[in-house]
Amino acid sequence: MELPMTVSVENPLLTALGEVLPPHALLTDEAELARHSRDAAPFGAAGRPAVVVCPETVEEVQHVVRTARARGVAVVPQGARTGLAGAANAVTGCVVLSMTRMNRILEIDTGNRLVRCEPGVVTADLAAAVAGEGLCYPPDPASFETCTIGGNIATGAGGLCCVKYGVTADYVLGLTVVLADGEVLRVGRNTVKGVAGYDLTRLFVGSEGTLGVIVEATLALVPPRPPALALLARFASTADAGEAVGAIIREGHVPSALELLDRATTRAVAALGHPLLGGDRTEAAATLIVASDAPDARERVRAMTELCRDAKALSVTAAEDEEQTGQVLRARRMVMPALAAHAGAGDREVTAFIEDVAVPRARLAVLIEQIEQIAQEHDLFIATVGHAGDGNLHPTVVFDPADPSAVRRAKDAYDAIMAAALELGGTITGEHGVGTLKRDWLARELSPRSLRLHRDVKRLLDPEGLLNPGKVLA
């Protein structure tokens, strides 16, 4: 008697994973595999995972890593897949290690101002939990309501308040990591200060899951942020706005946000009806939004208002209270909806790709002008918004993905923007990371010796190259 052709042959990888992980932790249906195949980056290669595994304990993560390794199968760690560089994209046949179910806050230590948590905690949930204890976790990437702490650490995420409060990396005191061989490594400390041995903690921060899987983090906290006051200033030229940013920095202000909207962004937010940007006023080439949460915020905002006026601002609106501050800051929060609305204005479905480069602060205005030039040359709509205080810009290229010429032009523009940033002494990524999208450009930013050392470090920690292969390094 012949066996029927449709007999289900057991998948040995799944069987081995199932020896430790419960069935509900193993996702294999097509929809889940597709959903977990890529992050929020529109370009970049992404493959079909063999399985998505959702562990709930460190031991389960160890089992997944060891099981995959024994079979030469790649492991791709994922958080909430909000990343913008393809760092969480699956490779075909891999095990996707989704860390979102390891989302417990293990300890909030108010006396020592620190928190211990699992990697799958959503950033906003962590911030809310520590706020409930009278503390603050400042890092605020744009996706903070959905992204995870583990993803923030793995990508070295930034945000709006970095100009005063620093980036995710600055808050990571210690990590527990599952290494490529399945062993657990604890690095860092529980103390504010500590210099015992090499700083391996920072080696894992921003390594995009290529050196190990983060399974626990100890993060520093700060006292609550006082309420902010904000101002909005409109400028006739990008150079004038750049001059205002320079003056604010030179005069020793440390704003809690210092954001710039270029002409296209200002126009889009105005079109969506923001009262401080729309109406019949002269169109601005750039808008600055500046906030201060210092104890002397009122004096600071007043002084920065004067600096904007000195830099020939068309208009400056300085908030006197919380409500007016809310109105000013709304202009920044309206940027993505405004660009989406602009993009959706026609009939076609469009893609908005958010780029990320950084230059020394003083070169900001030059880079913005070069980006406007690049947009014209490539016949593209590029709206730039940026963390001006950090010299970190996000040019957003809006294009029709169904139009091969537009896709080609978008990619060319994107290359031109990174080239411009490097030329100005900057970096190809200020806070989004390298992932798959920028690994060729990383090789241009780094010297050959540095690139070699990067490869050596990768080989040291992942000799078989099974941890998130193809990310950071080709």
Q: Which of residues 270-309 bind a copy of itself (CB under 8 A)?
A: 294-296, 299
Residue with tokens 């070069």: 370
Cβ nearer to a copy of itself, comparing 49 with 83: 83
One-letter-per-residue 3-state SS of 31-83: HHHHHCCCCCCCCCCCCCCCEEECCCCHHHHHHHHHHHHHCCCCEEEECCCCC
Minimum distance of a copy of itself from residue 1's CB (angstroms): 54
Under the binding rule (CB under 8 A), the answer on residue 167 touching a copy of itself is yes
Minimum distance of a copy of itself from residue 272's CB (angstroms): 28
Site for a copy of itself in 173-232 (CB under 8 A): 179, 183-187, 189-200, 202-203, 205-207, 211, 222-224
Cβ nearer to a copy of itself, comparing 103 with 238: 238
Cα separation, 421 vs 246, in Å, equals 18
Cα separation, 436 vs 84, in Å, equals 10
- Residue of the chain from 391, 410, 417, 466 that contacts a copy of itself (CB under 8 A): 391
Under the binding rule (CB under 8 A), the answer on residue 263 touching a copy of itself is no
Minimum distance of a copy of itself from residue 244's CB (angstroms): 13
Q: Which amino acid is at 203?
A: L
- Residue of the chain from 261, 428, 437, 467 that contacts a copy of itself (CB under 8 A): 428
Site for a copy of itself in 36-75 (CB under 8 A): none
Tokens of 6: 């449709």
Cβ nearer to a copy of itself, comparing 162 with 307: 162
Tokens of 2: 């012949």
Site string for a copy of itself, 351-370 (x = CB under 8 A): -------xxxxx--------
Site for a copy of itself in 127-166 (CB under 8 A): 134, 155-156, 158, 162-163
Cα separation, 208 vs 219, in Å, equals 18
Cβ nearer to a copy of itself, comparing 49 with 77: 77
Cα separation, 341 vs 355, in Å, equals 19
Cβ nearer to a copy of itself, comparing 263 with 432: 432
- 362 exposure class (CB count in 10 Å sphere: 0-12, 13-18, 19+): middle
- 3-state DSSP assignment of residue 465: coil
Interacting stretch for a copy of itself, rule CB under 8 A, among 52-60, 333-341, 395-403, 438-446?
Answer: 438-446
Minimum distance of a copy of itself from residue 163's CB (angstroms): 8
Contact status, residue 119 vs residue 55, Cβ threshold 8 Å:
no
Cα separation, 352 vs 84, in Å, equals 11
Under the binding rule (CB under 8 A), the answer on residue 125 touching a copy of itself is no
Q: How many residues bind a copy of itself (CB under 8 A)?
A: 86
Tokens of 272: 């969506």
Residue 172: CB partners within 8 Å, gap ≥ 6? 153, 188, 201, 202, 205, 217, 218, 219, 220
